Amino acid sequence: MKYIIKIACIAFGLTLMSCGDSFLDKVNPTQLTAGTYYQNQAQVQSAVNGIYSQLQDLTSIQWINTEYISDNTSLHFNVGDRGQGPSLEAIEYFQINSGTSNITNWYNQLYRGLTNINIVLSKLEGATMDNALKLDFEGQCKFMRAYYYFQLVQCFGDVIIVKEPIGTPAEAYNFKRSPVADVYTLIESDLKTAITSLPDRASIAVNQKGRISKGAALALLGKVYLTKKQYAEAVTTLKQISGYSLMPKYADVFDPQQKNNVESVFEVQYQANTDIGEWSGFIYNFYPRESYGAVIKFTNANGGGWNIPTRDIIAAYEAGDLRKAVSLAEGYNNNSGVWTPIPFITKFYHAHTVVNRPGDNWPILRYADVLLMLAEASNEATGPADGYAYVNPIRVRAGLAPLAGLDKASFRTAVLKERRIELAFENHRWYDLKRTMSPTELATFLNAHGAFEKSNPTTNRGGIPFSAGDYVFEAYEALFPIPASEILVNKDLTQNPGYK
């Protein structure tokens, strides 16, 4: 049995029950409640497994807000079906507002995850188990809480901080947004706790592969420091990571037969060919529409046509870059043998025996990312001299010449491009752009991308023109809006500037 499995964890279905004086109000002693669960190691382990499983739900929509909104991906425009226009296309074309459903779903998904994390953390002290195990579970949960809040603060800025379970619905309406600085204080505190209590990769049992390690916590803290432009701290933190290396071949990183490999720092776990909700369906979202089995090798199997590589990223690959053929295809031969120029992501497509049931894991942190963060942070701290040792092994693996002789600004540009190509379609691009540009610079950059995409659409639009507001990005959109539905029920919530 895999270590992490998506389960209908009974702990997450528990309702808060109270005891009154009435006989009818008394709790049935045989019924599991929040008070009677989380009593021992097995129950806590089940609850923590459930927390891991929520990452599958998060990953299933994360690409919308990290790749799709950037210059990396676009959509396979479908002339006959405009049903996704108000949601997915609103993000692709920078037409976001406080009612955009995919932004609301993202915000709610993150807070749903935090709810379950906080419940487990609140119950650990009372559970009967060895103290070292409690610290281990605490470290795993606090890593997860830090990861969720890191997503929130990068997307929304000031956000609500919740560190304890909410007992009644009324309590949920009394929270206010906390400043970005306070959110980062919580993130750093949680990660430092995780670092001290989690095992090294080498100490993790084979049957627990895929769980969070000390290396994952160090990598995430290093990314936090890099995002905050605390470059010296980022270098010091990232240099502590040990026990990882690059896989010999880029394709090996994503091979389902080599899951949780030596380059994997942390990845979301999936199982293929099952009926228990464990499969990963990325290709069925990302692949071309109306391909009828020519791309996904099952009769009449189609993709959703979303998250299609743009002309821009296709052109960004250097000649001879071995990563290109692993990461994307520029089109396919249809069932009649006719070339169809609809690009699609190939990085997450591997053979599976049951339709709609692939099992590719999704990488959240890998060692190539760590090396590129070290290259970037060391360049910003002291110049490019030390950075070559981090970035060049990645380029050599890709079949490219090592970098050399760059000044600080040129090295910065080269590393950002290297991150775009090496980590393509892995949900890093939006955060990289936001980290390395001011909101005004980001607006200029994305408007230039939009102008190019409007004049050279990645996929044929069948004669349907763009609207005047498509691909028009304003600086305030560097932060997403707080969902209108949240402000409606909580009068104390404020909206980000620029949104109504």
pTM of the model: 0.92
d(CA 373, CA 220): 11
Report the SS3 class of residue 267: strand
> 18 pLDDT band (50/70/90 cuts)?
very low
Instruction: Average the pLDDT over 323-350 and give the result.
Output: 96
Closest CA to 227 of 437, 444, 371: 437
Instruction: Average the pLDDT over 377-397 and give the result.
Output: 98
**DSSP string over 247-262:** -SSGGGGG-GGGTT-T
- The answer to whether 323 and 250 have CB atoms below 8 angstroms apart is yes
> 26 pLDDT band (50/70/90 cuts)?
very low
> What are the structural domain ranges in the chain?
10-198+437-489, 282-345
How deeply is 117 buried, as exposed, middle or buried, from its count of CB atoms within 10 A (0-12, 13-18, 19+)? buried
Half-sphere exposure for 419 (CA within 13 Å, toward CB): 23
Q: Which residue has the tokens 């919740």?
A: 162
The tens digit of pLDDT for each residue in 297-315 reads 999 999 999 999 999 999 9
Residue 201 pLDDT > 70: yes
> 34 pLDDT band (50/70/90 cuts)?
low
Calculate helix-pair angle for 131-156, 41-66, nearest 10 degrees: 20
Question: Distance of alpha carbon 55 from its chain centroid, rounded?
Answer: 9
pLDDT at 80: 76
Average pLDDT over the chain reads 91
Using a pLDDT cut of 90, give the percent of the chain over it.
83
Half-sphere exposure for 111 (CA within 13 Å, toward CB): 18
**Higher local confidence (pLDDT), 357 or 6:** 357
Q: Residue 460 is encoded by which pair of tokens?
A: 């044929």
The strand pairing partners of 74, in sequence order, are 308
Instruction: Average the pLDDT over 40-58 and give the result.
Output: 94
Residue 267 pLDDT > 90: yes
pLDDT at 276: 81
> 36 pLDDT band (50/70/90 cuts)?
low
The CATH classification of domain 10-198+437-489, taken from the options 3.40.640.10, 1.20.810.10, 3.30.2230.10, 1.25.40.390? 1.25.40.390
What are the φ and ψ backbone dihedral angles of 306, each rounded to 5 degrees? -105, 160
- The answer to whether 194 and 142 have CB atoms below 8 angstroms apart is yes
d(CA 315, CA 264): 28
d(CA 167, CA 154): 28
Cβ neighbours of residue 462 closer than 8 Å, sequence gap 6 or more: 77, 79
Secondary structure letter of residue 335 according to DSSP = T
Q: Residue 202 is encoded by which pair of tokens?
A: 């080498």
pLDDT at 378: 98
pLDDT at 17: 27
d(CA 329, CA 380): 35
pLDDT at 174: 81
pLDDT at 203: 94
Residue 1 pLDDT > 50: no
Residue 84 pLDDT > 80: no
d(CA 143, CA 137): 10
pLDDT at 78: 79
The strand pairing partners of 308, in sequence order, are 74
> 35 pLDDT band (50/70/90 cuts)?
low
Residue 3 pLDDT > 70: no
What are the φ and ψ backbone dihedral angles of 362, each rounded to 5 degrees? -115, 120
pLDDT at 10: 29
Instruction: Average the pLDDT over 270-282 and give the result.
Output: 87
pLDDT at 173: 78
How many residues are present in the chain?
A: 500
Q: Residue 293 is encoded by which pair of tokens?
A: 């089995």
Listed range (22-26, 84-88, 129-133) with the worst mean pLDDT: 22-26
Task: Please state whether beta strands 73-75 and 159-160 pair in parallel, antiparallel, or not at all (unpaired).
Answer: unpaired
- The answer to whether 84 and 125 have CB atoms below 8 angstroms apart is no
The tens digit of pLDDT for each residue in 398-451 reads 999 999 999 999 999 999 999 999 999 999 999 999 999 999 999 999 999 999
Closest CA to 208 of 363, 52, 58, 11: 52
**Higher local confidence (pLDDT), 361 or 4:** 361
Task: Centre a 10 Å sphere on the Cβ of residue 425 and count the other Cβ atoms it contains.
Answer: 22
Residue 172 pLDDT > 60: yes
pLDDT at 8: 32
Calculate helix-pair angle for 429-436, 214-227, nearest 10 degrees: 40
Residue 29 pLDDT > 90: no
